[in-house]
């Protein structure tokens, strides 16, 4: 059974701090990794994807992938209250079917 | 450009009735996916269509659930003899699905199904 694990949170960080969201996966053959943001009552929104080991930066977001440790993370710099949402980690589970983690709820407080 | 669209946005139905949910993917996207999300839960994969290939139905929870995709574009998810446990948000996503790239899936706004 291929699994994607995330801490459910809530992860509470002050405004302006760095939020660090973590995800581990069980299928060592996974090649593609995605982070989605989901506001309450809304559908998931793709914010980052990463295919290669190392870091990928996009604005305030950095995705980090370590395939040897089967670990992917998302860093959000200068966190804003508008970043408060549930962050879903997803891993390619073969034939492009994504396996989603249950999500980590992030709360950024002023 | 236009994103993934779904209809209806909300559907309330009585237990035992059949429902049809529609998804219109992003133009040019060859792959289409259906997911289900129950209140406070994660995303549950239901079915995947890629071009003219046979769909991956491995996530359908029972034979009351079926889906089709006509002309490689619009898809309809049908739930027969609905049960209360079918109440959830049904999400559709599409992707380019090109070898080596384009696996990113983009979601529609979802259909909230309530079975009374």
A55 to chain B, any CB pair closer than 8 A? The answer is no
Q: Parallel, antiparallel, or unpaired: how do β-strands A33-38 and B5-7 relate?
A: unpaired
- Tens of pLDDT, residues A13-68: 999 999 999 999 998 888 889 999 999 999 999 999 998 889 999 999 999 999 99
DSSP B61: -
- Nearest CB among A46, A99, A103 relative to B104 is that of A46
- Cβ contact (<8 Å) for B107 and A49? no
DSSP B59: T
Confidence at residue B101, expressed as pLDDT on a 0 to 100 scale: 57
Confidence at residue B99, expressed as pLDDT on a 0 to 100 scale: 57
Whole-angstrom distance, CA of residue A22 vs CA of residue A89: 8
- Whether residue A1 is predicted with pLDDT greater than 80 in this model: the reply is no
Q: Smallest CA–CA separation between B52 and chain A, in Å?
A: 14
Q: Are B69 and B55 in contact (CB under 8 A)?
A: yes
Closest CA to A94 of A47, A12, A26, A46: A26
Q: Are A99 and A24 in contact (CB under 8 A)?
A: no
- Tens of pLDDT, residues B3-52: 999 999 999 999 999 999 999 999 988 899 999 999 878 899 999 998 88
Query: B34: nearest CA in chain A?
Result: A97
- Cβ contact (<8 Å) for B105 and A34? yes
Taking one residue from A and the other from B, the number of pairs with CB-CB distance under 8 angstroms is: 49
- Tens of pLDDT, residues B52-76: 888 989 899 999 999 999 887 999 9
Confidence at residue B42, expressed as pLDDT on a 0 to 100 scale: 84
On the CB side of B38, CA atoms within 13 Å amount to: 8
- Nearest CB among B31, B48, B107 relative to A44 is that of B107
- Nearest CB among A88, A92, A96 relative to B31 is that of A96
Please identify which residue in the block is written with the tokens 């769909």.
B55
């Amino acid at each position: 059974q291929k699994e994607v694990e995330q801490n459910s949170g809530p992860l509470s960080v002050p405004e302006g701090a760095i939020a660090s969201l973590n995800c581990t996966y069980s299928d060592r053959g996974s090649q593609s990794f995605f982070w989605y943001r989901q506001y309450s009552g809304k559908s998931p929104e793709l914010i980052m994807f990463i295919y290669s080991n190392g870091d990928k930066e996009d604005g305030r977001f950095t995705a980090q992938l370590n395939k040897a440790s089967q670990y992917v993370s998302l860093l959000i710099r200068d966190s804003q209250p508008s970043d408060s949402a549930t962050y879903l980690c997803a891993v390619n589970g073969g034939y492009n079917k994504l396996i989603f983690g249950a999500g980590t709820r992030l709360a950024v407080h002023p | 450009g236009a994103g993934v669209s779904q209809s209806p946005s909300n559907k309330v139905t009585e237990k035992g009735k059949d429902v049809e949910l529609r998804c219109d993917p992003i133009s040019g996207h060859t792959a289409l996916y259906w997911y289900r999300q129950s209140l406070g839960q994660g995303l549950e994969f239901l079915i995947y269509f890629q071009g003219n290939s046979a769909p991956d139905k491995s996530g359908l929870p029972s034979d009351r659930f079926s889906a089709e995709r006509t002309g490689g574009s619009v898809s309809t998810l049908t739930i027969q003899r609905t049960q209360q446990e079918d109440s959830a948000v049904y999400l559709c996503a599409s992707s380019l699905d090109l070898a080596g790239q384009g696996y990113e899936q983009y979601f529609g706004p979802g259909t909230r199904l309530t079975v009374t």
